[in-house]
Structure 1
Amino acid sequence: MVVHQLTSPSSGLPDVAAGSLRLDAPAMATVVRCLGPAAATAGSGGSGAAGGAVPAMAATVVACCCRREEERSLAIACGAPSGLLALLAESERADAQVAALEGLSLLLPAHPPACEAALARPAVTQRLTAALRDPSPATRLLAAGCIAALSRHPSCGAEQSEAMQRSALPVLLRLLANPATRPAVPAVLAALIEGSERLQKAAADADTVRLLAGLLAAEASGGAAPAVTAAGAAAVGCLASAAPAATVGPSTAAGTAATAPGLGSPGSGAGSASSCSAALREGCLRALGSLCLNRDDSRRQLLEAKVLRHIVRCLEDPCEGVRAAAALVVRALSRCVRTLRGGLLEGGRGELAPVLVKLLGDANADVRASAAAAVCNLVLDFSAAKAAVLAAGGLPALVALTAQGQPPGLRHHAAWALGNMLYRADAGVRAAVMQALPWSSLAKLAADTETGVAEQALVCLRNLALGDAAAAAATVAWVGGSHAPLAAGGSCGGGSGPVGASAAGPLADAAEAEAHEALLGLLQERIEGAAAAVAAELASRPAVAGAEGVEPMEGVESEDSEGAAGRAAGASPSAGDSRGLEHSGGSAAACSPAAPAPASASRSAAAVHALYAVANLLTGGPRLKAAVAGRRPLLGAMTALLRAGGGAEGAAAVGELALPTVWCIINLTWPAPSSAPSAATGGEAVLAGRAEQEALRARCRALSELGAEAALEGLAEEHPQRDVRERARTALEQLRRGADSC
């Protein structure tokens, strides 16, 4: 047995606050055994009051050791959580209860089975609720920390969880307003409000954003933390009055003391002070990240607090926990376009993008994930941000993060960032992405088992092909192995260039055919899968009279509804690109979305982007249209989706797939140019025009044979969404005119 301890000169007891006690496995097991009732009896010869001192001291020792991760694991392996729970529930000694609280506040977040055991013992939750009203601020803080862990456990029912959280939140907010306990509160507050918009709103209404921002600024500058405003104090009072009363039970005695994380203690040296400072920064940042994750008002308040430079500085903190928390705040701030336009892009004197790119290679996975999500939002709609990320080497870093072996969420955000990088991208950005991400790599991502990664790979294809004939042809050339950049006019955003022009250099006929096969084959597979899923969904449904149409799903905070791109003579309209802030749950289509298909949400989302990619590729001229029209199964899948989408019930099954499918039909049936040929090219132009008219008629008749005309009639008359009805009428008119053309 090995025990190393530093004793307090005044008491001879272990100096718990200094965290200097270290135990090996046999010593820890011996201490844990002392938590039980047998140790109390043996230590007192049967005297109850004196006997309780042994378990109380054992709990104090366990709590001291649990400050280090390796010894937390050792304590859990030796059964410390069950001993501490029993001590808290059964002991009548105030010091034993406080010591048990301290140990549990450190062990419960790291050991879910202990949370389940605690929730199964009503006496434990009664003691925790009573401890929230203890005269000692440190004891109240420890109890709130335990409640934060328990209320998030899956076995905690919704009603019980809400009651516990409502009890703890006003206590924490009061402790945050208390200068003595303020440094230790942010970490516990972050754990309590994480994932709960209701708690985040309540905390924000109590002026918490300003208090945390001031605390962060004061820690950085060594100044005083801000005082609580009258409005904040009133909000805390309202929360306290709404909280349920404490369950009656034995209360801890007045004047007991406990060492809470971040609270100062005699004997703490420079290393301990540095650790407390890092813990304070991390706690403030994590709480701010949670408060700003879903609330525009909180983001605005944080920017108005003028602490962005401190947050950016924390992105390079030596402590990985601080870096991860700072990256979380930047991610939260970047989730709103208004915030991005309101100063985040210039945060930290303009070095935000390079710092975030550097964090993409951080050793900590949480840091990388939050940095990737922030970059994803940063490059959404800002050419300056795209240029800054490219200049800092962000593109190869993002591509590397999509590789197998990285955490799934990180791969998803990295692929999402690549798709957003291509949103409204200029020619230089598109060329850079095509150079950094070869077709072979993107095809693997599109086939990835992680549905989010596969979906974002299709977003990349969709956005690459958007624009005009040059953009579509450049995409085909990239698939065929050519990486030549787009011409200056062939960028994006709805411009239209000469049909068939390709700045990437024409591929040989055989190479072009192979590129068409690879690209369209990948897209066709997703579309056919979605059509089959919709058919199966409709076949499994009982007939329902009077089914109502679907409601539009909630969009992202940016503007996501755009019309079709401008049309030039003979040029098909672009169907729209895809963009999305990372919090939206999926990339929002440029056209107004409908509710996702209930048959298979992930398959439907991937097929939506595949259909838009096909629609955009169809702007690439006659050869691409011929390649699409030559794939009879693809036309059949599109027609099946059109046929299934008529009526309210069918619209609910098809969901977002209806509109991009109609766009594909519009671009397949787009009329050939009717302008008169010039004198120099009159004969050739006439022949080319006739050939295009013949090809158009063949495409329209092939679609009619598959039943597209009747399907479009149904959509034009019965679909609940006006946008789909109007586009279906356009497609129907073009289909009939093209089939009858001479």
Structure 2
Amino acid sequence: MVVTKHEAAVAALRSSDQQERTRAVRFIKNGVIGNRTKKELYMKMGVTERLVQFLSDPTSDLDLRVQVSVVLGSFAYGNDQNIQMLVEAGAITPLLTTLSSKELKLVEAGARALKAVYQSAHAPRGDVIKASRNNYVQDLISLLTPNDSTLEKPASSQRTVPVRISEVAAGILAKVSLAHEEQMHVARAGAIPLLVALLDVRWSAYPKLQEAALDALANLSRENPTTAQMIVSCKASHNSDKSVPLILRLVRDRRPVMRLLAATCLTNIYRTGSLPLEYQQDTILTVLPTLIKLFTETAPISSLYGSGWATVQEKAPKVFADLVEPSEDLQKAALEADAISRLAVVIIGEGGEPPEVVEPKVKSRKDAKKSATKAAPSTTPGATCGHAERVKESAFRAVAAVCSLREECRKQVIDAKLLPHIVSAMSHPSRRIRIAACECTRSLSRSVKNLRTSLVDAGVGIPLFQLLSDESVEVQTTASATLCNIVLDFSPMKKTVLENGGVERLVDLAKSMDDRLRLNAVWALKNLLFQADSEIKERVMKELGWDGLLSLINDNETGIQEQALNLLRNLACGKESDIEQVFKGLGEDKVMDILETMLTRTTQSDDIILQALYVIVNVSTGNDRHKAAIMNREKIIEAILGFMSHTKSLIRVATIWCVINLTWTDDPGAQERVVRLRELGFETRLASMMDDSNMDVKDRVKTALANFGAGSDTLSAPMEIMGTAEGSSIGTRRSRREREGVVFGSLGAAGGGGSGGRYQG
């Protein structure tokens, strides 16, 4: 039997001769570096466990342990599956142990192997942070002072070697400082002052070192005001500037990667609200144009700063999106800097002309589901995509961010002829591009004009609706959030959704086990009922069921409870028969029980209180029996009186509308209700609110006091009040006293909205 040289090398690992084992490991090392096939071959032959034994054995000589560390690092550079095999073989702990070695070669080999491991999102970062007996974070931090005393007896000719180790150590810290707990652990261990010190001009001869330090500081400050403030307050040395001027200097560096990482760091600090006021203008004048110029920069980024190979062009639009997304001023500045036109060049150049979008005709619920499932591109969730796809995804996310708040930005997106590309991207094989395209559509749909014209002309409705059945829950979540705007009464696409099984699909999602999907679905159903006629209300409730609505009202997530009450608020708005239908569907006592519970619960959120009050406002526009149902609940009446002195003006306004509708002089029984409410102290409370700081409160108080026969003789016209999640409303004057309202839906800024996330107009 012929034994291959690879089999011979593996067999030599079992030799009792340490020199022979070392020669075998060196042979394996020379074979696997840069050769994915050889890596897979040796790992399948089971060498990993044997190599980990060598590294863990204190009797192994230095050269053997160094060679093993290099091989394990090479394995880690293969793919996520290789890293998982290393984890299962127990390689991480012995590699971490090398960081405290006094031998320079072993420290460098171990650190580089760990760098390769931690570039993967699947790497066990907790091994570094939560180690009980060994402080590996402190070991890494001890390597952040690149000088001759960092390690024992470094040769003078090896002056740059400690710098290289500092670079790798900073890179590892960047990868293990992603979650809040990890950020705080690394910061409290003292990493921030040493990382900031590496930004000093005296280290400018080592750009990779400074890039690694910036990457670590950027990750430490992401969505963490505490660590961001620590960075802002830190100086590189006693005689130098604080960190922000140092980072701004690096934003102007000639190296694209340096500029990107410095801009990322300042963006993350800015997002936390920790950027000092004196540097706010520099953000607009320096960071923003720098990022825009990097949209077409193809310089490669070391794998230290991302999973696998990447370019500046892939990352810069995402950082730009983070910077401008929460700020109207920055979006305006981006518009003036021609950011949208530059993004259009990136998208159209990468994707070419999109195919014509043809809306299929789907009639039945069964056909709708079949069509949606068929239209959803087949792709494995989480699958990686190539460079062109990553660039396109990043550019689409930047477009979504830059037009999220300002109408003139949305207009420029339309004028740049990006909309056909956005619609086409909804059917892209890449899950991440489909999500980014939905985010663009959501931003554009915040414009009433776009809802009525551009989005309709582009045929957004059907592709978006089809994504509700995408195999990726993340795509479904983004699509359902976007649909919240599409189903508004003034959107022509509302009819498209209704005709193609939209109610049925949204009801299915409202029963999902995923909190975000339930929230988005009930939000969209609530918006669907905005100014809806009785026929649509009946159709929604036929699918959802009154028990289904009750389940949503009692959901564990506060945001879902709020939107379910908002839906109930819109159901009870319109005609007397709509209120009667609510009483019939849930039962009169159950309706009052719900309202009483929501208004008297000790730790109730203000948002839920507001929605419960507006349900009362709408119910109190009904007939005498509907009003009596409220008046007969002493706890509800007492709660209304109590909330008239609430700190939030929106809640005070809602309570006054309750009083106005219950005492409307044209209604039967109004005088008896006035007497009862006067006895309970409502008139006195109203009189005390005449000098309220909020003008809307003062105006409504005049109307309420007039109903009691006091105060102003001028009555404001009655209003109908439809449900709105934020309490603000788009009021429409009517013959009854209700208000319907709606807020344009968007996922919350931290990330995807999350469980019970807020939507903002």
Q: Which piece of structure 1 moves more, 106-115 or 387-396?
A: 106-115
| Structure 1 residues 398 and 219: alpha-carbon distance in aligned structure 2, compared to 1, 3 A threshold | same
| Structure 1 residues 200 and 700: alpha-carbon distance in aligned structure 2, compared to 1, 3 A threshold | closer
Q: What does residue 520 of structure 1 align with?
A: 592
| Structure 1 residues 100 and 384: alpha-carbon distance in aligned structure 2, compared to 1, 3 A threshold | same
In 2, Cα distance between the equivalents of 1:102 and 1:420? 47
Q: What does residue 186 of structure 1 align with?
A: 316
Shift of 1:457: 1.4
1:425 pairs, out of 526, 532, 539, with 532
Q: What does residue 217 of structure 1 align with?
A: 348
Question: 2:168·2:212 contact (CA, 8 Å) conserved in 1?
Answer: no
Secondary structure of the 1:283 match is helix
In 1, Cα distance between the equivalents of 2:247 and 2:461? 37
Question: 1:35·1:59 contact (CA, 8 Å) conserved in 2?
Answer: yes
Tell me which amino acid in the other structure corresponds to 2:685: A
In 2, Cα distance between the equivalents of 1:134 and 1:341? 57
In 2, Cα distance between the equivalents of 1:273 and 1:632? 60
Question: 2:294·2:313 contact (CA, 8 Å) conserved in 1?
Answer: no
Secondary structure of the 1:718 match is coil
Q: What does residue 367 of structure 1 align with?
A: 475
Q: What does residue 734 of structure 1 align with?
A: 707
Shift of 1:28: 4.7
Ranked by relative contact order (alpha carbons within 8 Å, sequence separation 6 or more), the top structure is: 1
In 1, Cα distance between the equivalents of 2:324 and 2:181? 17
In 2, Cα distance between the equivalents of 1:723 and 1:277? 53
Shift of 1:618: 2.8
In 1, Cα distance between the equivalents of 2:142 and 2:337? 36
In 2, Cα distance between the equivalents of 1:149 and 1:712? 53
Shift of 1:470: 2.7
Q: Which piece of structure 1 moves more, 519-528 or 430-439?
A: 519-528
Tell me which amino acid in the other structure corresponds to 2:418: V
Question: 2:487·2:494 contact (CA, 8 Å) conserved in 1?
Answer: yes
In 2, Cα distance between the equivalents of 1:190 and 1:519? 48
In 1, Cα distance between the equivalents of 2:126 and 2:230? 34
The answer to whether the aligner puts 1:151 opposite 2:221 as a matched pair is yes
| Structure 1 residues 704 and 114: alpha-carbon distance in aligned structure 2, compared to 1, 3 A threshold | closer
In 1, Cα distance between the equivalents of 2:553 and 2:632? 23
The answer to whether the aligner puts 1:280 opposite 2:391 as a matched pair is yes
Structure 1 vs Structure 2 CA RMSD: 4.3
| Structure 1 residues 656 and 367: alpha-carbon distance in aligned structure 2, compared to 1, 3 A threshold | same
Tell me which amino acid in the other structure corresponds to 1:619: T
Q: What does residue 313 of structure 1 align with?
A: 424
Shift of 1:20: 2.5
| Structure 1 residues 27 and 205: alpha-carbon distance in aligned structure 2, compared to 1, 3 A threshold | farther
The answer to whether the aligner puts 1:123 opposite 2:194 as a matched pair is yes
Q: Structure 2: which 5+ residue stretches go unaligned? A: 1-12, 14-24, 36-66, 148-159, 233-242, 252-261, 264-286, 300-310, 355-382, 711-761
Secondary structure of the 2:514 match is coil
The answer to whether the aligner puts 1:704 opposite 2:730 as a matched pair is no
- For each residue in 1:23-79, what CA deviation from the matched residue of structure 2 results, as whole angstroms up to 9, or x when unmatched? 523445555555555341xx4xxxxxxxxxx65554444444444433465985899
1:498-509 maps to which residues of 2 (within 5 A)? none
In 2, Cα distance between the equivalents of 1:310 and 1:699? 60
- For each residue in 1:427-446, what CA deviation from the matched residue of structure 2 results, as whole angstroms up to 9, or x when unmatched? 34322222222222222322
Tell me which amino acid in the other structure corresponds to 2:182: P
| Structure 1 residues 621 and 705: alpha-carbon distance in aligned structure 2, compared to 1, 3 A threshold | same
Shift of 1:384: 2.1
Tell me which amino acid in the other structure corresponds to 2:196: T
Q: What does residue 259 of structure 1 align with?
A: none
Q: What does residue 405 of structure 1 align with?
A: 513
Tell me which amino acid in the other structure corresponds to 2:589: E
In 2, Cα distance between the equivalents of 1:73 and 1:222? 43
| Structure 1 residues 377 and 365: alpha-carbon distance in aligned structure 2, compared to 1, 3 A threshold | same
Shift of 1:461: 1.4
In 1, Cα distance between the equivalents of 2:186 and 2:96? 17
Q: What does residue 486 of structure 2 align with?
A: 378
| Structure 1 residues 189 and 669: alpha-carbon distance in aligned structure 2, compared to 1, 3 A threshold | closer
In 2, Cα distance between the equivalents of 1:653 and 1:395? 38
In 1, Cα distance between the equivalents of 2:674 and 2:170? 75
Question: 1:354·1:388 contact (CA, 8 Å) conserved in 2?
Answer: yes
Q: What does residue 575 of structure 1 align with?
A: none
Tell me which amino acid in the other structure corresponds to 1:462: R
Shift of 1:199: 6.9
Shift of 1:460: 0.9
In 1, Cα distance between the equivalents of 2:641 and 2:462? 48
In 2, Cα distance between the equivalents of 1:16 and 1:222? 41
In 1, Cα distance between the equivalents of 2:649 and 2:107? 62
Q: What does residue 561 of structure 1 align with?
A: none
Question: 1:604·1:656 contact (CA, 8 Å) conserved in 2?
Answer: no
In 1, Cα distance between the equivalents of 2:202 and 2:428? 36
1:610 pairs, out of 605, 609, 612, with 612
Q: What does residue 723 of structure 2 align with?
A: none
In 2, Cα distance between the equivalents of 1:625 and 1:273? 59
In 2, Cα distance between the equivalents of 1:89 and 1:96? 10
Secondary structure of the 1:521 match is helix
Secondary structure of the 1:619 match is coil
Tell me which amino acid in the other structure corresponds to 1:399: V
1:207-606 maps to which residues of 2 (within 5 A)? 207-221=338-352, 274-341=385-452, 343-346=454-457, 349-350=458-459, 352-403=460-511, 405-407=513-515, 409-479=516-586, 515-529=587-601, 603-606=605-608
Q: Which piece of structure 1 moves more, 453-462 or 158-167?
A: 158-167
Q: What does residue 243 of structure 1 align with?
A: none
Shift of 1:459: 1.0
Tell me which amino acid in the other structure corresponds to 2:102: A
Question: 1:129·1:143 contact (CA, 8 Å) conserved in 2?
Answer: no
Question: 1:16·1:60 contact (CA, 8 Å) conserved in 2?
Answer: no
- For each residue in 1:603-652, what CA deviation from the matched residue of structure 2 results, as whole angstroms up to 9, or x when unmatched? 333232222222222333233233333334433443454xxx4xxxx4x6
Question: 2:452·2:492 contact (CA, 8 Å) conserved in 1?
Answer: no
Tell me which amino acid in the other structure corresponds to 1:221: G
The answer to whether the aligner puts 1:638 opposite 2:640 as a matched pair is yes
Q: What does residue 7 of structure 2 align with?
A: none
Question: 1:712·1:731 contact (CA, 8 Å) conserved in 2?
Answer: yes
- For each residue in 1:535-581, what CA deviation from the matched residue of structure 2 results, as whole angstroms up to 9, or x when unmatched? xxxxxxxxxxxxxxxxxxxxxxxxxxxxxxxxxxxxxxxxxxxxxxx
Tell me which amino acid in the other structure corresponds to 1:524: E
In 2, Cα distance between the equivalents of 1:402 and 1:703? 39
Q: Structure 1: which 5+ residue stretches go unaligned? A: 44-53, 224-271, 480-514, 534-599, 674-691, 738-742
The answer to whether the aligner puts 1:662 opposite 2:714 as a matched pair is no
Q: What does residue 739 of structure 2 align with?
A: none
Tell me which amino acid in the other structure corresponds to 2:351: A
Question: 2:665·2:671 contact (CA, 8 Å) conserved in 1?
Answer: no
Q: What percent of counterpart residues are identical?
A: 28
- For each residue in 1:351-378, what CA deviation from the matched residue of structure 2 results, as whole angstroms up to 9, or x when unmatched? x333333433445454333223212233
Compute the TM-score of the two structures, normalised by the length of structure 1.
0.61
Q: What does residue 20 of structure 1 align with?
A: 78
Compute the TM-score of the two structures, normalised by the length of structure 2.
0.60
Q: Which piece of structure 1 moves more, 391-400 or 414-423?
A: 391-400
Tell me which amino acid in the other structure corresponds to 2:430: C
Question: 1:314·1:326 contact (CA, 8 Å) conserved in 2?
Answer: yes
| Structure 1 residues 736 and 200: alpha-carbon distance in aligned structure 2, compared to 1, 3 A threshold | closer
Q: What does residue 7 of structure 1 align with?
A: 33
Tell me which amino acid in the other structure corresponds to 1:463: N
Question: 1:6·1:20 contact (CA, 8 Å) conserved in 2?
Answer: no
Shift of 1:280: 2.3
In 1, Cα distance between the equivalents of 2:384 and 2:568? 52
In 2, Cα distance between the equivalents of 1:380 and 1:460? 13
The answer to whether the aligner puts 1:160 opposite 2:231 as a matched pair is yes
In 1, Cα distance between the equivalents of 2:213 and 2:397? 20
Shift of 1:274: 4.7
| Structure 1 residues 202 and 721: alpha-carbon distance in aligned structure 2, compared to 1, 3 A threshold | closer
In 1, Cα distance between the equivalents of 2:180 and 2:486? 36
Tell me which amino acid in the other structure corresponds to 1:275: G
In 1, Cα distance between the equivalents of 2:451 and 2:501? 21
Shift of 1:124: 2.0
